[in-house]
Structure formats: structure tokens, C-alpha cells
Amino acid sequence: MNPKGNHFMQTIKNSSNHLLNIINDILDVAALKEGKLHIKHELVDLSRAIDHVVDIVAPLAKKE
């Protein structure tokens, strides 16, 4: 696969991971309401997270 195709595949993978995170967040809200939410602290690579957001949003911004 060419580099552009690889980039698109990575963006699709990242988008699906973000969707899974949203679903998990919804489930966390339900657990919070039931008093069953356990919070854990973890490190986040902010630069990488921002890059993923840009990859997802950039095609939409280019259309506008």
C-alpha cells in the first residue's frame, strides 16, 4: 500500500478507536450514576492525541 493509503488506514483505525472511547465514556456515565465508577490515572501523549484529532478533522475542514 502506498503512503497515502497507509495514512488513510491509520486514520480509519484512529477514528474507530475514538468511537470505542465514546461508547466507553457513555458506559462510564451509567456506572457513575450507579456509584460503580472506578477512576484510574494514566499518562496521555498530548501531542499524539492532537495529531489524531487533526487527522480526523482535517478532511472535514478541507470540504468547508
Q: Which residue has the higher pLDDT, 42 or 1?
A: 42
CA gap 27, 6 in Å, rounded: 32
Do residues 49 and 41 touch, judged by C-beta distance below 8 A? no
| Grid cell in block for residue 8 | 488513510
Q: Is the pLDDT of residue 64 over 80?
A: no
- At 12-58, the pLDDT tens digits run 998 999 899 999 989 888 888 888 877 789 999 999 989 988 888 88
CA gap 28, 24 in Å, rounded: 6
**Number of domains forming the structure of the chain:** 1
Name every residue whose Cβ is closer than 8 Å to that of residue 23 and which is 6 or more positions away in sequence: none
Q: Which residue has the higher pLDDT, 28 or 63?
A: 28
The separation between the first and the last C-alpha atoms of the chain, rounded to the nearest angstrom, is: 29
Q: Report phi then psi at 54, rounded to 5.
A: -60, -45
pLDDT of residue 55: 86
